[in-house]
Amino acid sequence: AQSVTQLGSHVSVSEGALVLLRCNYSSSVPPYLFWYVQYPNQGLQLLLKYTSAATLVKGINGFEAEFKKSETSFHLTKPSAHMSDAAEYFCAVSKSPGTYKYIFGTGTRLKVLA
């Protein structure tokens, strides 16, 4: 069965500091992996996705993530945090081929300190 673990339900960083949000997955087949961001009372916006092409994936707003099969990880990073990055971030996995339904992690709330 597929699952996703996000370590750290809350992460605080200073403005301008490195952002690192952790995601580990388990999947019996090659997965598709995603990071979404959710602002208060809004839906989810796609940040980036891994679909078995390049292992280093660049997304919107300066975020990127690296797929590491040996570590079953797909951590999200951004070199320099901005106040507008404060939001909740969700990692998700889906199975290919299949229904492509997502299994989400429990989310990490990012706080950016001035």
Q: Give kind and range of the element (H or E) at residue 84.
A: none
Options 18-26, 33-41, 56-64, 71-79: segment touching another protein (CB under 8 A)? 33-41
Does residue 44 belong to the site contacting another protein (CB under 8 A)? yes
Q: Are 65 and 35 in contact (CB under 8 A)?
A: yes
Options 22-30, 46-54, 64-72, 74-82: segment touching another protein (CB under 8 A)? 46-54
Does residue 28 belong to the site contacting another protein (CB under 8 A)? no
Looking up tokens 């997304």 gives 59
Does residue 27 belong to the site contacting another protein (CB under 8 A)? no
Does residue 34 belong to the site contacting another protein (CB under 8 A)? yes
- The DSSP bridge pattern shows strands 56-58 and 44-50 to be unpaired
Instruction: Give how far the C-alpha of residue 7 lies from the chain's centroid of Cα atoms, to the nearest Å.
Output: 11
Does residue 101 belong to the site contacting another protein (CB under 8 A)? yes
